[in-house]
Amino acid sequence: MKRVQLILEEWQHDWLAAEADKNATSMSALLRDLLSEAIERRQSATLAEDPIWGIIGMAEGPNDGVTSENLDEFLYRINWSEPTLRKVAEDEPSRDR
């Protein structure tokens, strides 16, 4: 942890002291919690506004059965002239279980 000195408005200090008292915690711990919440909210808002999310769904994916169940077969197959992908049946056991 790092020590930080800051100046609060009188009403901020009063509210912080009362809230810390009500929650049986220190003003420092309460400030850390409030700051963490504010940072998480801002980060999630920033992430949601990231233009990278705009490309989702823009491209047409392969319509030949590529799923997470057989992705390795698609990525690492040697003979690209013949299709090796297959639809995975619902009742077929997964290899990674």
Q: Is residue 18 a contact partner of residue 12, using CB atoms and an 8 Å limit?
A: no
DSSP, res 22: H
Q: Please give the residue range of the domain that contains residue 14.
A: 10-55
Q: Is residue 80 part of a domain?
A: yes
Does a structural domain hold residue 96? Answer: no
Of 13-17, 19-23, 76-80, minimum mean pLDDT range: 76-80
- Residue with more model confidence, 70 or 30: 30
pLDDT in tens, 1-15: 899 999 999 999 999
Question: What residues have CB less than 8 Å from 67, skipping those under 6 apart?
Answer: 87, 88
Residue 80 C-alpha from the chain's centroid: 35
Average pLDDT, the chain: 79
Please report the pLDDT score of residue 50 as a whole number: 79
Residues 16, 45 within the same domain = yes
Are 18 and 33 part of one and the same domain? yes
